[in-house]
Every structure is written in C-alpha cells, then in structure tokens.
Amino acid sequence: MTPRAGKRPVYLPGRRELSARQREEVCVGAILTQNTNWGNVESALVRLNEARALGLKELRALPLRRLESLIRTSGYFRQKAKKLKLFARHALGRGSLKEWLSGDLRERREELLGLWGVGPETADSVLLYAGERPVFVVDAYTLRIGGRLGWFGQTDYDRAQRFLQGGLPRSVPLYNEFHALLVAHAKRHCRTTPVCAGCPVRRLCRHGSKK
DNA sequence: CACCAGGAATGTA
DNA sequence: TACATTCATGGT
C-alpha cells in the first residue's frame, strides 16, 4: 500500500482555520506593506497591537491623527491611515470577513478594487490570505522573476496572474507556498541587480544563459 | 549619501 | 493604453 498522511500532499501541511481576528490582522498587514519592506510594517503592527488598535472595529474608532502616528514607520502613513479607515468601515458594514469574502470571487475582487487604496495586489492578498480564496497574488517579485524568465511582461499583473493560475493546480495552500518560494528566490538570487551565480533556474533565464 | 523596499492614485499625451 | 509623478519611512 502507499503510505500517505492524508489526501493533502505532505509538503503542504494543513492549517487550522484562521480566527476572525487573524483575518483582520492580515488585511491590515496587506495595506501597510504596500511598497514597503515587511520589517517596517512589523514595527507598525506591534505599535497598533500595543495600543489595542489592531482590530477593524478599533481602527474604525481610532482618531485619524492617532492612527497616523501609530503606523508612521510603515511609510506613506497619511495615505495608509486613510486606507485603513476606509477598509475597516467598509468591511465592518459587510459582516465578518469570513462570510463577506466567501461570496462570488469576481464580485468580491471588484468590490475590493473599488475601495480607494486597494489595488490588484492588495485585493488579491486579502482574498487569498484573509479569505482563503484561490487567487494568485502577483507582486513586484513575481513580476521580476516571471519577466526575466520570459513568462510574461515585467509590468502586466493580469497576464502574470492568468499565467500562474493557468499553470498551477487551483489550490489555496499551493498558491500560498508557491508565492513564498518566489519571494525567497527573489531575495536570494533575483534581486534588482540579479545574482545569477548559483541560481537554480539560471539556464532557463536570459540573465543566466548569457553568462 | 544614493538607492531600494512584496503599491496605488492621479494626471498627462 | 502607457508612462511620469507623488506619497514617506527605515535599512544597506
């Protein structure tokens, strides 16, 4: 017989379902991380947590100026404070994130994109990480790697998303893992100025093939 | 000191 | 449609 841990591949361990609070924190992180490194976001999240203001209801109730000061280290703090307030107000008006995000996928995505401050990457991050919906999150790393490999253009979000979703099994944990691997690869090799020495896909890439 | 980091909105041609 | 500019802090 073939020994298996379950029907899920062992390299994609199942996770306990997200709590309502965790879903909210994921959304906050998705907005704060826009065009900023995660380290700067983390310190902002810590400050929000210390102020007991990490939940959507708390954020909605928080004075704008106070919110701005708490998230200052994440950069673009005035814009992001406004984005958080708008997101919190909208989401709270639609019930729990779990229920809201489980509706028709295209409708929810369009609804998110209609919010000021929510673009494609943020919308898809909310859907995948907070809603556990099967949407591939394309980011700057994804575009850089795929662009260099010739998978799609360096700036075409929708093409990149279709390419990846078309080439991978439609699976939330797999999208999650694959994206994490892209991030790791971008940091190790596929940097702004590529480090091709030792790159595992060097021969598949323009940068690698021409020495 | 220059540059970059897991974007998005707005204005212009 | 395709760019350019603006927003802003912290690390290297």
Closest nucleotide to A139: CA versus each C1': B6
Over residues A146-170, mean pLDDT: 94
CA dihedral A99, A101, A106, A112 (to 10 degrees): 130
Closest nucleotide to A40: CA versus each C1': C10
Nearest protein residue, CA measured to C1' of B6: A139
Within a 10 A sphere around the Cβ of A26, how many other Cβ atoms?
A: 17
Q: Is the pLDDT of residue A165 over 90?
A: yes
Closest nucleotide to A77: CA versus each C1': C8
Closest nucleotide to A122: CA versus each C1': B7
- Per-residue pLDDT of A117-136, as tens digits, reads 999 999 999 999 999 999 99
Instruction: Give me Rg for the CA atoms of chain A.
Output: 19
Give the model's confidence band at A68: pLDDT under 50 very low, under 70 low, under 90 confident, else very high.
very high
- In this complex, the answer to whether residue A192 has its CB under 7 A from any atom of chain C, a nucleic strand, is no
Q: Quickly tell me which residue has 């929810």 as its tokens.
A: A108
A129 CA to B4 C1', in Å?
26
Please tell me the predicted confidence (pLDDT) of residue A211: 47
Give the model's confidence band at A1: pLDDT under 50 very low, under 70 low, under 90 confident, else very high.
very low
Token pair listed for A186? 């971008």
Of all residues in chain A, what percent carry a pLDDT higher than 70?
91
Intra-chain end-to-end CA distance of chain A, in Å? 47
- In this complex, the answer to whether residue A75 has its CB under 7 A from any atom of chain C, a nucleic strand, is yes
Residue type, A98: K
What's the CA gap between A78 and A152, in Å, rounded?
Answer: 34
Taking the model in full, what pTM does it have?
A: 0.92
What's the CA gap between A8 and A145, in Å, rounded?
Answer: 28
CA angle A67-A46-A176, nearest 5°?
Answer: 105
Please tell me the predicted confidence (pLDDT) of residue A66: 97
What's the CA gap between A181 and A48, in Å, rounded?
Answer: 29
Chain C positions with a protein C-beta closer than 7 Å: 3, 7-11
Dihedral sign, Cα of residue A169, residue A141, residue A41, residue A60: negative
